[in-house]
């Protein structure tokens, strides 16, 4: 759901927001990439993920509806708040 509300996120941002270990997050993102649901972009040491813009319209519609319906529900709202408070987010010299 975080990827639906942000253009792209670095693995470090996702681990910070969700509170899971980096290998756990990376493994799940790799599975989503293999399935074609997300795409990635490498920038130096960091890998940024986004919802695959080539997804069919009906898939994007389902994801948008799901994101809209869960935006204020736990744990999704809390994850977004924690992400917003993250120090040293990408775009700064280094991730936290």
Where does 2-84 sit in CATH, by number?
A: 1.10.10.10
For residue 93, the model assigns a pLDDT of 47
Task: Kindly list the domain boundaries of the chain, sorted by start residue.
Answer: 2-84
Q: The whole model's pTM is what?
A: 0.84
Interacting residues of 96 by C-beta distance below 8 A, sequence separation 6+: 12, 16, 86, 87, 88, 89
Q: What is the pLDDT along the chain (96 residues), one digit of tens a residue?
A: 999 999 999 999 999 999 999 999 999 999 999 999 999 999 888 889 999 999 999 999 999 999 999 888 888 889 988 998 898 777 654 454
Q: What angle (nearest 5°) sits at the alpha carbon of residue 8, between those of residues 4 and 41?
A: 135
Alpha-carbon span 13 to 88, nearest angstrom: 10
């Amino acid at each position: 759901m975080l990827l639906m509300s942000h253009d792209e996120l670095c693995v470090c941002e996702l681990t910070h927001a969700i509170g899971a270990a980096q290998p756990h997050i990376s493994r799940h993102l790799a599975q989503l990439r293999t399935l074609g649901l997300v795409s990635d972009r490498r920038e130096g040491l960091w890998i940024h993920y986004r919802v695959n813009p080539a997804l069919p319209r009906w898939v994007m519609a389902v994801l948008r509806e799901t994101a809209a319906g869960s935006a204020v529900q736990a744990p999704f709202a809390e994850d977004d708040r924690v992400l917003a408070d993250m120090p040293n987010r990408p775009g700064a010299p280094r991730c936290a």
